[in-house]
Structure 1
Amino acid sequence: MSPLRPRVLAIAEAANPEWVSVPLVGWSLADALRRRADVHIVTQTRNRDAFLRAGLTEGTDFTAIDSEAVAAPMYKLASLLRMGSGKGWTMVTAIAALGYPYFEHLVWKRFGADIRAGKFDLVHRITPLSPTIASSLAPRVAAAGVPFVLGPLNGGVPWPKGFEAERRREHEWLSYVRGAYRLNPSHRRMLRSAALIIAGSRHTASEIPAPYQDKTVWLPENAIDPARFNLTSAQDLTGPLRACFVGRLVPYKGPHMLLEAAAPLIRAGRLVLDIVGDGPMAGDLRAHADSLQIADGVTFHGNLPHDQVQQVLAQANLMTFPSIREFGGGVVLEAMALGVVPMVVDYAGPGELVTDQTGYLIPVGARPQIVEGFRTALQALADDPHALPVKAAAARATALSDFTWDAKAARIVAMYDRLLAARQV
């Protein structure tokens, strides 16, 4: 074992290469770190088989912790209280926060002696991502004289003004009192005990209390795997513009606003739109396309396997994504990696990933302002699309240089090294 490679115990309760969202983030980051450090991953037993299928060796590369005695009933409770698949994420996080301490209790029971004995240079909790879920491990690890790294933490982006109806349709009742987590003494102990806090968004970084800002760094939550996004958009400007939306068909993602914004150009035959994804709004969106007389110019693909999503997206000039409450925005990076120019609302995750050089930022506002912003930007591009290839090349270069999982892991390992070097002074 090379002394130049830090020995890391990576806590990733949610980590799975075969799933999406938080589990895929947890897996992708932990796996990328393995290529640059001596990492042993600790995950929940539900991920065990996927780890084995990915080629990892149990006991050597990872340990699966069986916390199902608490996790299973908590999952059932969250499914009941969220009142609909894909809704009530604040409720899901709150219920997870109740069951998570048992997982960390079992982690400490299994690895506490090894941590105290100095078998790891540091402990890094990768998931949960939510900053509301406290860690009982943090003070124990710190007391053992081992640095505890936390993050990327992300979540809790406020709902923009004018979208209360969408908030209610998402069953986000608990979001009104989300800030109460700051009163939890365990949360303060976690932040106090952490040697490094990685914030996955600027909003989350701003929520870290002032006494801990000096050990907080901003590093976007999401990244991409170049092997999974290996096509390149041709940016064909000879025909009508082609725009693409990829995501769950739910109110806060804004697909209804996109239809309204694009309708004049679609009716005129100057733009076609692909919508990839499914969700509770699917039927209403198809009916809305009919009422706007644009059904012939809109293709609803439904849910597609990953390789087919890439094929559809890579045919587009633009990734049009009017989501008004996106924590990370991984799909935006995926589009950029394919050379598809993103057009996003300048708010939360996507607004932190896109610049004027790599895409189009539409000012956040109430629904009519966002619709008009997208409509104006799309009209300008239909009139003169020649800026698209330049932005597409810049977007692809940025994604492949700054936003791969390997690049992200390299930055984190550099943080490890600085942290460990400072402790030796």
Structure 2
Amino acid sequence: MIAQMTSPRKPRVLAIAEAANPEWVSVPLVGWSLATALREVAEVHIVTQVRNRDAFIRAGQVEGRDFTAIDSEAFARPLWKLAEVLRMGEGKGWTMVQAVNALSYPYFEQLVWKAFGPGIRNHAWDLVHRITPLSPTVASPLAGRCARAGVPFVLGPLNGGVPWPKGFDAERRREREWLSYLRGAYKAMPGRGATLRSASAILAGSQHTASEIPARYRDKLIYLPENGIDPTRFNKRAAPEPGALRAAFVGRMVPYKGPDMLLEAAAPLLRDGRMTLEMVGDGPLRASLEARAAALGVTQAVTFHGWLDHHEVQDVLCRCHLLPFPSIREFGGGVVLEAMALGVVPMIVDYAGPGELVTEGTGFKLPCSDRPGIISAFAAALEALAADPAPLPAMAQAARERVHARFTWAQKAAQVAQVYEWIAQGRPGKPPAFP
């Protein structure tokens, strides 16, 4: 029988966040941000991988009291090195990395159970919440063990696996995403069904991931976008100087994020001084992008910054009106929320994560077509804004309001608290919904 959380005290939550690190970006930052934000609504002890220990301590966390670091390096390190070889290039072959992680991760949970299993069986925790890995391909042996112990298990947010759009097979190959052609096979892997069946609630970080959850589990499926923003990290407000349209691209310079498409689309405006472009980030495309900027005759209007820390990224964005971001396979879109939080208007491809974050009046959503179509759409939209930037201030304000009202980590924690309460009440009716 499931343990009920009927007292007014905060629920006691064992938060599993194998990837959680305040000093990194992407999934580790999501894991850290959500796990720590939950402390406002629950008594949380975080379980993470030992590689994150020093960052936790530097952030003021006390080992043993606030968190436990699990040393699974004996198994994880050699498999990570194997993944680095198989991905065939830094920053590429992400599906291969996830496949190898799916093999190594169960050992981490085995060690978690060894350390916390007795406490779970004795109901020292009201529920167990696995926050990361985000990938829906990674099964959780803990889910079944918690179910047998009568302790609710929350899974997610899960996200990933967005299909490559038609017309971008060349980019897919350049990303070394050979394994993505077979990704659907994970649905038949041992452990997936047991994980979903044993979970008391499943959080889906995107509509695509939600669509991959079998219908028989939809009565406990909750859509909750994975990304959020920390107002203390993004606490400024954009104030671009009048004159030329000022834009910034922020992200890894890899084929699927489309920085080369943006450069082509913006070239006419950059050449004649009607637009400037800040390129923040690094990656395998950077050298070719710099060469292309020279060939297009736009170097005077484009600045390649390389990697910057988040304070510097914020400063660059605050000089801009616009974040043109033509990524064609973005699972979450955290950079879009960060720009919106500062009052920088996003211009995105209406596909996957960013398409679910940007609404009418808060940004520009352009159709996801083939490469020439996206370049043409961005070129036309940028041309229109350069000619008439009047819509931008109102959109910037609406974007800020949307993010600060619904996408802070504190808001996320409050939403997850509603899920915890729904479980505590015996999951009456439909699960909570967050518009």
Q: Distance in 2 between matches of 1:340 and 1:316?
A: 7
Q: What's the offset of the Cα at 1:3?
A: 4.0
Instruction: Verify: 1:252 aligned to 2:256, yes or no.
Output: yes
Partner of residue 59, structure 2: 54
Match of 2:321 in 1: 317
- The partner residue of 1:391 within 395, 401, 416 is 395
User: Which residue, out of 170, 195, 198, partners 2:175?
Assistant: 170
Hey, what's the Cα distance between the residues in 2 that align with 1:181 and 1:281?
31
Distance in 1, matches of 2:136 and 2:55, equals 26
Paired position in structure 1 for 2:218 = 213
**Residue 4 of structure 2 corresponds to which residue in structure 1?**
none
Task: Please say if 1:350 is aligned against 2:354.
Answer: yes
Report the 3-state secondary structure (helix = DSSP H, G, I; strand = E; otherwise coil) of the residue aligned with 2:425.
Answer: helix
Cα gap change, 1:424/1:40 in structure 2, threshold over 3 Å: closer, same or farther? farther
Instruction: Supply the distance in 2 between the matched residues of 1:367 and 1:70 (Cα, whole angstroms).
Output: 41
Residue of structure 1 aligned with 2:245, choices 228, 238, 241: 241
Q: SS state of the match for residue 408, structure 1? A: helix
Does 1:415 pair with 2:415? Answer: no
Using CA pairs below 8 Å that are at least 6 residues apart, which structure has the higher relative contact order? 2
Partner of 1:7: 12
**What's the TM-score once normalised by structure 1's chain length?**
0.98
Aligned length: 424
| Aligned position for 1:126 | 131
**CA deviation after TM superposition for structure 1 residue 116, in Å:** 0.9
Deviating above 3 A after TM superposition, structure 1's stretches of 4 or more consecutive aligned residues are none
- Residue 375 of structure 2: which of 371, 376, 385 is its match? 371
Can you list the C-alpha shifts for 1:56-82, whole angstroms capped at 9, x where unaligned? 111111111111110111111111111
Q: Name the SS of the counterpart of 2:47 in structure 1.
A: strand
CA separation in 1, counterparts of 2:412 and 2:403? Answer: 11
Measured after TM superposition, the shift of residue 268 of structure 1 is: 1.8
| Gap runs ≥5 in structure 1 | none
**2:96 counterpart (82, 91, 103):** 91
CA distance in 1, matches of 2:272, 2:290: 19
Partner residue, 2:276: 272
Cα deviations across residues 199-221 of structure 1 (Å, max 9, x unaligned)? 00110001101101111111111
Partner secondary structure for residue 228 of structure 1: coil
Structure 1 pair 423–346 and aligned structure 2 pair: CA distance change class (3 A): closer
The answer as to whether partners of 1:346 and 1:361 remain within 8 angstroms in 2 is yes
Pair 1:111-2:116 in alignment: yes
| Native 8 Å contact 1:235 1:388 kept in 2 | no
Deviation at 1:234, TM superposition (A): 1.8
**1:83-113 deviation line (CA, Å, top 9, x unaligned):** 1111100000000111111111111111111
Deviation at 1:35, TM superposition (A): 2.0
User: Counterpart of 2:154 in structure 1: which amino acid?
Assistant: V
CA positional deviation for 1:424: 9.9
Runs of 5+ consecutive residues of structure 2 not aligned to the other structure: 1-6, 430-435
User: Residues 89 and 172 of structure 1 are in contact (CA less than 8 Å); yes or no, is this contact kept in structure 2?
Assistant: yes
Structure 1 Cα separation of the partners of residues 213 and 392 of structure 2: 38
Q: 1:235 touches 1:389 (CA, 8 Å); kept in 2?
A: no
**What pairs with 1:149-160 in structure 2 (closer than 5 Å)?**
149-160=154-165
State yes or no: 1:45 paired with 2:50: yes
Deviations 1:320-377 (A, max 9, x none): 1000000000000000010000000000000000011100001000001100110111
Task: Report deviation, 1:235.
Answer: 4.6
Q: Identity over aligned residues, as a percent?
A: 67
Residue 304 of structure 2: aligned partner: 300
One-letter amino acid of the counterpart of residue 79, structure 1: E
Asked if the contact 2:422–2:428 (Cα under 8 Å) also holds between the matched residues in 1, the reply is no
State the alpha-carbon separation in 1 of the partners of residues 258 and 143 from structure 2.
38
8 Å CA contact retained: 2:19, 2:48: yes
Amino acid at match of 1:324: I
- Contact 2:240/2:246 (8 A) holds in 1: no
Q: Distance in 2 between matches of 1:239 and 1:103?
A: 54
Cα distance in 2 for residues equivalent to 1:47 and 1:302: 25
Q: 2:8 and 2:125 mapped to 1: Cα distance?
A: 12
- 2: CA distance between counterparts of 1:64 and 1:3? 30
- What is the DSSP-based 3-state SS (H/G/I as helix, E as strand, rest coil) of the residue aligned with 2:365? strand
Please state whether the residue corresponding to 1:422 is helix, strand or coil. Answer: coil
* 1:6/1:289 CA distance change after superposition, 3 Å: same
Q: What do residues 206-242 of structure 1 show as CA deviations (whole Å, max 9, x unaligned)?
A: 1101101111111111100001111111254x30000
1:137 counterpart residue number: 142
